Structures are given as structure tokens and as C-alpha cells.
Amino acid sequence: MAEFTMELNDEQKEVRDWLHGFAADVIRPAAAEWDEREETPWPVIQEAAKVGIYSLDFYAQQYFDQTGLGIPMAMEELFWGDAGIALSIVGTGLAAVGVLANGTEEQIGTWVPQMYGDANDVKLAAFCSSEPDAGSDVASMRTRAVYDEAKDEWVINGTKTWATNGGIANVHVVVAVVDPDLGSKGHASFIIPPNTPGLAQGQKFKKHGIRASHTAEVILDNVRVPGSCLLGGKAKLDERLARARERAKAAGGERVKNAAMATFEASRPAVGAMAVGTARAAYEVALDYAMTREQFGRPIIDNQGVAFQLAEMRTQIDAARLLVWRASWMAINGKPFTAAEGSMSKLFASETAKKVTAQAIQILGGNGYTREYPVERMHRDSAIYTIFEGTSEIQRLVIARTLSGMPIR
């Protein structure tokens, strides 16, 4: 187990500086254009693939960093560049983690490389969990997967929504209900291979922020996949369902703790790191502006009202980063989140991003409200952090129920 530290080692610093350079030289110059176009920034993703950032190897190296700081450090730097483009670069990782966490060695070796492709033939993947009537309430999921034993195939029907890369991805990972009587315990994940009949893109959403990231519905109409596409395999699923039925019976039919919530709890620090990156970017723009913009014959940072805002912004950003790093270290080292530390980090960082970006607009005044300056875009982008991967309200609920010992439904 790695000791907790707030100091990056030399290798991590080298990676951080490399990512920062890519964010400054490639992502930032393209940010305004792709925000306006509201399209997937393929040239930037391809450039990220060429230098090795958009790749399975890079993601795995950061994911398995025993200090826990690889992923949050990478997320902060990329999202410092631009949230929409960064999400297009890291979005495939959501599906890859789903396979790495639940798949067999054969499934991991087969499908994860296909999610990324290579520098000459870039691929995308999408993770599809949320539904029109089942966002935070995962137990209300309606997408069904029924096993056709005669053909050893699963037949999947339903509609997924808010899917990053949904419909345009080469590989989709879909969460579906296999036993509706077990609520969230009766879910399983499936690989949908490229060009599978019955899978189609539904509505593409025109969003308030992160507009360079493709978000859409995914329609599944009698989608048939081989039995080998069930992540973990049929035997493992049957064993897990049998245990869940016994536990539900022993509990008198009461709902047991939601396993999906526990999984999200472990991944939420990464979203917190994204928020820290956006907040830090807005703070730096505001600080530079306050030091160079003059009113009444002096820089506006000489005004206490502006200076105190900047002091508060920097303090909150540093506090958010520390919460994210603590939770990330705990997660990689198997430390239990006895006080919902994962949700704490995501809650504080996401709320900080919204507040800091709003303060940045205020410091820039009228300029901050225009698209000539990036803080307007950063403020729009920051709104997503308090919504996806569990809203701020859900984070508070998880924290409160963890502290009280109540079940997290």
C-alpha cells in the first residue's frame, strides 16, 4: 500500500507537464471552435491518439498508479484545457472501466483494445446506463435483457439516455435488467459489438455546456448479442443472482444496499478532478485579468473586493483537490469510504467549480459575459459536474446515509 502524499513523484510530474503542454497547445486553441460547432472534435482526438494520450496503455498506467493520483492528475490537466474536448478524449474510459471491472480476461483482451483503436484508426466507446425514467434511481431501470437459451444469445430492448458517444461509438457497454424482482441487484452489463442490428442513435442533445462532447439517446430494439457478450459470463451472473435472492429473502423482501451506488462512490473522485481543472482554469484567467486590468489608475486586484474573491477561489480549489486526492488514494488502496469520502470529493469540487467560474465572470465584468473570454464557456461547462455521476443532492444523500448507517438505496 502506497503512503498518502501530497507531492507528485518525478515521473508523475513529467506526465503532468506533458499533459499540460498538450492541453495548452492543442486543446485550448480549438476549444471555442468546437464549442460553437457542438460536434465531436475528431482532429483533437486523433492528435491525442498520435501522442499516446488517447490510448488504453496511457489510461491503464494512470488507473493502476498505486498512489491513486494518476487519474485525478490527468483529469485536472486535460479539463484545465477545455471540459468539452477533454470529455471527448476521456469518455471512452467510462466504458473501458465497465469492462475492466466486470469482464473476464478474455473479454478485456478482446473488447477494450477495440474501444480505442490506434493512432491510424481511432475508435470510440460508450457506457449506457441512464434512462429517461432512471437516472439517479438506477433501481427503476427498464431496459431488459432476456436470455435465449436455444441460441445462446441475449435479446436487449430499451432506451438509454445521456450517453457520452452514444450512437457514434464503435462499442457500446449497456446495463440492463435481467431479473426485475431484484431491483438494482438484478442488473447486468453487456457488450454491444460494432454494427449490431437493432442499435441506433436516438436524439442528440444540444447542451448548455460541454458542447464538444457528443451526448445522445441509444435505442435498443431487439438487439441480439452472443452469450459471450455478457460481462463476467453466465455462470458468474447466475451465482450472483442466486446470492441476491437469498439475501432478499433473508431480509424479508426489503431492498438491500445498492451495489451500483458503491461502484459510483469509487469513481466519483475522477469527476471531482475534472471540476478542479475547470475551476483552476477560470481562476487563472481571473487572476491574470485582475493583475493587468486597470480602473481608476490601478490594477483592480488592488481593490479588496476583488482580492478577497481571488483568495477565496484559490482556497476552495486547493481544498477540493485535497479531497479528491484523499478519496483517490483511499480507492486505489482499498480503504473503505466510511464517511462517503468519494461523494464528499465530488460534491465539494463540483460546487466549487460552479462558484469559482461564476466569480471569474464577475471579476471580468462585461468582458466575462462575452465569448471573447473563456470564462463564459467554463461557467457553462461547470454546471454538468453537479449533475452527472450523481447530482449534488444525491451526493448529500449518500454522505448523510453513510454517516447515519442507513442503507443507500
CATH code: domain of residue 276: 1.20.140.10
Residue 275 and residue 330 in one domain:
yes
pLDDT value, residue 409: 58
Condensed to tens digits (0 to 9), the pLDDT of residues 202-221 reads: 999 999 999 999 999 999 99
The reply to whether 372 and 289 lie within a common domain is yes
Residue 2 resides in a domain:
no
Per-residue confidence at 260, pLDDT binned at 50, 70, 90?
very low
Tell which of 215, 250, 285 closes a domain: 250
What's the CATH number where 26 sits? 1.10.540.10
Instruction: Give yes or no: 389 in active site.
Output: yes
End-of-domain residue from the set 67, 100, 122: 122
The 8-class DSSP code of residue 273 comes to H
Do 283 and 230 share a domain, yes or no? no
pLDDT computed for residue 379 by the predictor: 98
Percentage of the chain lying above the pLDDT 70 cut = 94
> DSSP class of residue 373?
S
Mean pLDDT of the residues in the chain: 92
pLDDT in tens, 383-396: 999 998 889 998 99
Tell me, yes or no, whether 144 and 104 share the same domain: no
Find the domain containing 284 and state its range: 259-404
pLDDT band at 251 (very low <50, low <70, confident <90, very high): low
Indicate whether 98 and 197 sit together in one domain: no
26: which DSSP letter? I
Query: Given CA atoms 43, 49, 53, 59 in this order, what sign does their dihedral have?
Result: positive
User: The domain spanning residue 188 has which CATH number?
Assistant: 2.40.110.10
Clarify whether residues 150 and 201 are in a common domain. Answer: yes
Mean pLDDT of 153-178: 96
Domain count, the chain: 3
118 located within any domain:
yes
Q: d(Cα 127, Cα 95) in Å, to the nearest integer?
A: 5
> Are 139 and 183 in contact, with CB atoms under 8 Å apart?
yes
Beta carbons of 49 and 118 less than 8 angstroms apart: yes
**Which position has the higher pLDDT, 3 or 297?**
297
Q: H or E element: which one contains 201?
A: strand 199-204
Residue 258 confidence (pLDDT): 43
What pLDDT score does 265 carry?
Answer: 56
Q: Which of 76, 77, 351, 389 is catalytic?
A: 389
Structural domain ending residue among the three candidates 186, 218, 250 = 250
Lowest-confidence segment of 69-78, 94-103, 284-293 by average pLDDT: 94-103
For residue 43, what are the CA distances in angstroms to 20, 30, 83, 259? 18, 10, 16, 38
